[in-house]
């Protein structure tokens, strides 16, 4: 690791100020950033640790509205009793990230700001129609994620929370790379309401050339009938899907259907 200056922020305002130092980067759980710095893929001059800011921590559920602070760890999300009731699919997703030691440190804000193309949370945020709250504005998840490791976040902008309306039904299914355990394909299915009508959203991670995306053909099929059998009729194109040594685009396209089917079955219980 190259030399770096560590700063611990006591508040979001403090973090914004510290971020102006040199080529500073935000540090939350550090489960991606520290390994990237060790291999010198990342070499910020300064680190601004936001993981101990109390205002960024915790899960709140009020009626159907769920708000999760950006510095809430995967472990905290997966074990929060209120969330397990309001949106068990998201708690379960959090329990499937990395391993127990990683979940004790990694945070939801860090994961979505990093936008790894195989990360789990982006799929949940998009499928839940979540809003990403920053110190400057609120951004719809559909617009937040831009491409590989890219979001619409600007300089000095810090994710402070995510918020969404708990859907009636939801589930996440992931087909893991057997070695890295990252998603080769992960599908989050949510059946909620939009403008008083049923709204089915299906978001896919691990498969897209540009990161997370919505599987619109499956959404249309599931809007008619929220049943695993309905997925069979929906064609998923391999265009824009990743091909690598683990899986071809065609294989991933097929897996999207398979994972969506399993997710709907799980959501229907």
Q: Which is nearer to another protein, 91 or 204 (CB)?
A: 91
CB of 3 to another protein, least distance (A): 6
Q: Which is nearer to another protein, 4 or 12 (CB)?
A: 4
Phi, psi (rounded to 5 degrees) for 32: -105, -45
CB of 221 to another protein, least distance (A): 33
Say which residues have a Cβ less than 8 Å from residue 40's Cβ, sequence separation at least 6: 1, 2
Distance CA 108, CA 267 (A): 22
Q: What angle do CA 183, 188, 192 make, to 5 degrees?
A: 170
| Contacting residues toward another protein, per CB under 8 A | 1-6, 8, 27, 30-31, 34-35, 37-38, 47, 49, 51, 75, 98-102, 104-105, 181
CB of 8 to another protein, least distance (A): 8
Residue with tokens 């937040």: 144
Structure tokens at 235: 């064609």
CB of 6 to another protein, least distance (A): 4
CB of 159 to another protein, least distance (A): 19
Structure tokens at 147: 């491409």
Q: Which is nearer to another protein, 47 or 130 (CB)?
A: 47
Distance CA 211, CA 2 (A): 29
Q: How many CB atoms lie under 10 A from the CB of residue 232?
A: 12
């Amino acid at each position: 690791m190259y030399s770096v200056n560590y700063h611990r922020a006591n508040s979001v305002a403090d973090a914004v100020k510290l971020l102006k130092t040199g080529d500073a980067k935000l540090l939350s759980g550090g489960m991606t950033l520290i390994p990237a710095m060790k291999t010198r893929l990342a070499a910020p001059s300064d680190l601004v640790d936001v993981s101990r800011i109390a205002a960024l921590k915790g899960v709140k559920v009020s009626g159907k509205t769920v708000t999760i602070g950006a510095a809430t760890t995967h472990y905290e999300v997966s074990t929060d009793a209120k969330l397990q009731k309001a949106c068990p699919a998201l708690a379960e997703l959090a329990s499937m990230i990395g391993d127990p030691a990683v979940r004790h440190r990694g945070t939801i804000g860090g994961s979505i700001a990093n936008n790894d193309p195989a990360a789990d949370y982006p799929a949940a945020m998009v499928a839940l129609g979540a809003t990403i709250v920053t110190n400057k504005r609120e951004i719809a998840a559909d617009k937040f994620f831009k491409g590989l490791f890219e979001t619409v976040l600007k300089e000095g902008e810090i994710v402070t929370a995510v918020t969404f309306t708990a859907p009636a039904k939801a589930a996440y299914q992931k087909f893991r790379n057997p070695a890295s355990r990252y998603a080769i394909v992960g599908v989050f299915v949510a059946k909620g309401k939009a403008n008083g009508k049923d709204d089915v959203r299906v978001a896919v991670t691990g498969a897209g050339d540009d990161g997370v995306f919505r599987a619109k053909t499956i959404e249309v099929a599931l809007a008619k009938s929220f049943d695993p059998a309905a997925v069979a009729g929906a064609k998923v194109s391999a265009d824009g899907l990743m091909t690598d040594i683990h899986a071809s685009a065609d294989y991933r396209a097929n897996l999207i259907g398979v994972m969506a089917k399993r997710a709907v079955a799980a959501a229907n219980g």
